[in-house]
Amino acid sequence: MAERRALVTGATGYIGSRLVPALLAQGWTVRVLTRTAEKVESRPWHDEVEISEGNADDEEDLRSAMSGVEVAYYLIHSMDGSGDFVERDRNLAKSFAQCAETQGVRRIVYLSGLYPPGEKLSTHLGSRKEVEDVFLDSAVPTAVLRAAVILGAGSASFEMLRHLTDRLPIMIAPKWLSTRIQPIAIQDVLRYLVKAAELPSEVNRGFDIGANEVLTYKDMIDRYAAVSRLAKRRVRTLPVMTPGLASHWIGLVTPVPSGIAKPLVGSLVHEVICKEHDIATYIPDPEGGFVSFDEAIRRALDGPQPIALRPDVDAENPGRISAADPQWAGMTVFIDEHRSTVDASPEQVWSQIEQLGGEHGWHVPDFLWRVRGLMDRAAGGQGHVARREPGPLHEGMKVDSWVVELVRPGESVWLRSRMKAPGVARMILSVESGSRPQQSVLTQQAEFTPAGLPGLTYWGGLWAGHKPTFAAMHRGLVRAAEDAAAGSLARPASH
């Protein structure tokens, strides 16, 4: 079988980071265009792809990247609106199309936004349409896939939905919450993108892509809340709220940057539903049907949320959060971190970490844990249990009111609280070598992932007590390790 080579631009972005492994799984030789090779070195597929360093606005770099390529994926979008992004995107698309023609690329695949024909579009959506027109008017056959809201953790559209719903049980919102939308899961988008590379050469057109359900944004909020087991959200819409004002509101309420929220809001002002389903002529609907809205939400919420625990892109479930996604994506995580240089070896510090709990305690007054345990009992929990299993730390081990979630012996341990709380609480302890012998660095992180407004209230209400408690625990660990190190130095060597 002849080698099939595809170029992926935007390979470190949300879509690109998931498309690359999907293409590799289908036997494609993949080349990625990136400004620096370091940007993709953290990806697990970096040694399976051809890396072409360069800029998409440099014709020589583009020609080099497209040499010997059959299909070129254009996944470049200006989302922050800085400068004249309309002209910049237009010029990038023209250069891309011209280089594709001169290098003999047989197809361009472009992921665009879904828009209503004949309406005055927002600036960003209008720019997307202009880019697709550039490609469709070029000499290279192009498949344009137009999608509305893409459902999957890490997708800016999904993250906006997630955080608005999680954080606001009652919201006064813009009238576009009543606009009809036809969302699609990231799994189905990737399937279309991969299959689009194999379209017949005479196909040069745009296709609307979406799943089977048409929902309003309010419907999506209600469905997300139901799947997440949150209380029903109460939404009231205002007749007047400009996209600019709404984007600032979203930037204030959620971690989604307002510069990213603005083009998303601008798109949601329009009714974005599929006007045709012609793509089924070339790419049949999936055998088991499209991923439903509720199932897409379940898949997006699957898996760990803390940044340090995020897995690489999951080929089986690309809808879950991944290490490739921005830090603001995923569930909100509050972190209290303490980091100290310790005059003790990493082994001596680790020994003190392994002794935590049970009769050795946590280096803080016991009454603090008893008070927290009483609060847990009042909420129906088991309270504070001062008992740990014997032996070295291992996954699943119970340490007082914690359970070991992950352990790398001698390096780090992740503890998850077993007490009742409106969210998930973790304690992460890690140790590494210091800058000189018999020195190490101890890092302690308390993390809390809140569940809705009750979780946000819980963290805020207990913060005044948590902060000094965590600080005292950290100081106690440092002191215990240094005392142990000093004791070992004071003992005479045996003969």
Name every residue whose Cβ is closer than 8 Å to that of residue 319 and which is 6 or more positions away in sequence: 151, 152, 153, 185, 186, 187, 291, 296, 299, 300, 302
Binned at pLDDT 50, 70 and 90, residue 495 comes out as very low
DSSP state, residue 116: -
* Residue 297 near residue 223 (C-beta atoms within 8 A): yes
Structural contact between residues 324 and 17, judged by C-beta atoms closer than 8 angstroms: yes
For strand 334-342 and strand 440-450, is the pairing parallel, antiparallel, or unpaired?
A: antiparallel
Averaging pLDDT over each range in 98-112, 310-324, 350-364, which range is the top one?
A: 98-112
Lowest mean pLDDT among 81-95, 159-173, 362-376: 362-376
What are the E-state strand segments in 344-411?
Answer: 398-399, 402-408
Interval 327-351 mean pLDDT: 89
Concatenated DSSP letters of 183-222? -EEHHHHHHHHHHHTTS-TT--EEEE---S--EEHHHHHH
For residue 130, pLDDT over 50 is answered with yes
235 bridge partner residues: 171
Contacts of 381 (CB under 8 A, 6+ apart): 418, 419, 420
Phi, psi of 138 (to 5 degrees): -80, 175
Exposed/middle/buried for 494, CB within 10 Å: 0-12, 13-18, 19+?
exposed
Q: Is 376 exposed, middle or buried (0-12, 13-18, 19+ CB in 10 A)?
A: buried
- pLDDT over 90 (residue 325): no
Mean pLDDT in residue range 234-248: 69
Query: Whole-prediction pTM value?
Result: 0.80
Cα–Cα separations (whole angstroms), residue 227 to 179, 222, 223, 469: 21, 9, 6, 35
% of residues, the chain, pLDDT over 90: 53
Of residues 74, 56, 76, the one with CA closest to residue 65: 56
Structural contact between residues 135 and 101, judged by C-beta atoms closer than 8 angstroms: no
Rounded to a whole number of angstroms, the distance between the first and last alpha carbons of the chain is 70
pLDDT of 139 higher than 90: yes
User: What whole-number distance in Å separates Cα of residue 468 and Cα of residue 465?
Assistant: 6
Chain segment 434-444, per-residue pLDDT in tens = 999 899 999 99
Strand order, beta sheet including 398-399: 334-342, 440-450, 423-433, 412-417, 402-408, 398-399
Q: Is 15 exposed, middle or buried (0-12, 13-18, 19+ CB in 10 A)?
A: buried
In the prediction, which pLDDT does 92 show? 94
CA distance 347 to 410: 7
Q: Which of 11-20, 115-124, 372-381 shows the lowest per-residue confidence on average (mean pLDDT)?
A: 372-381
Helix (H/G/I), strand (E/B), else coil: 110? strand
Domains and their CATH numbers in the chain: 5-309 (3.40.50.720), 334-490 (3.30.530.20)
Q: How far apart are CA 439 and CA 453, in angstroms?
A: 42
Helix axes 243-253, 258-268, angle to 10 degrees: 130
Kindly state the tokens that stand for 88: 């910049």
Segment 361-417, tens digit of pLDDT: 888 876 666 666 666 666 566 666 667 778 899 999 999 889 998 899 999 999 998
For residue 59, the surrounding DSSP H or E stretch is: helix 59-66
* Burial environment of residue 422 by CB neighbours within 10 A (0 to 12, 13 to 18, 19 or more): middle
With a cut of 50, say whether residue 95 has pLDDT above it.
yes
Local structure of residue 56 (DSSP, 8 states): T
C-alpha–C-alpha distance, residues 285 and 317, integer Å: 19
Residue-wise pLDDT tens digits, 266-296: 777 788 999 999 999 999 999 999 999 999 9
Q: Quick check: 140 pLDDT over 80?
A: yes
Please provide the size of the chain in residues. Answer: 495
| Backbone CA torsion sign across 458, 459, 464, 468 | positive
State how far the Cα of 409 lies from the Cα of 396, in Å rounded to an integer: 14
Residue 118, judged by CB atoms within 10 A of its CB (0-12, 13-18, 19+), counts as exposed
| Of 22, 311, 45, nearest in space to 153 by CA | 311
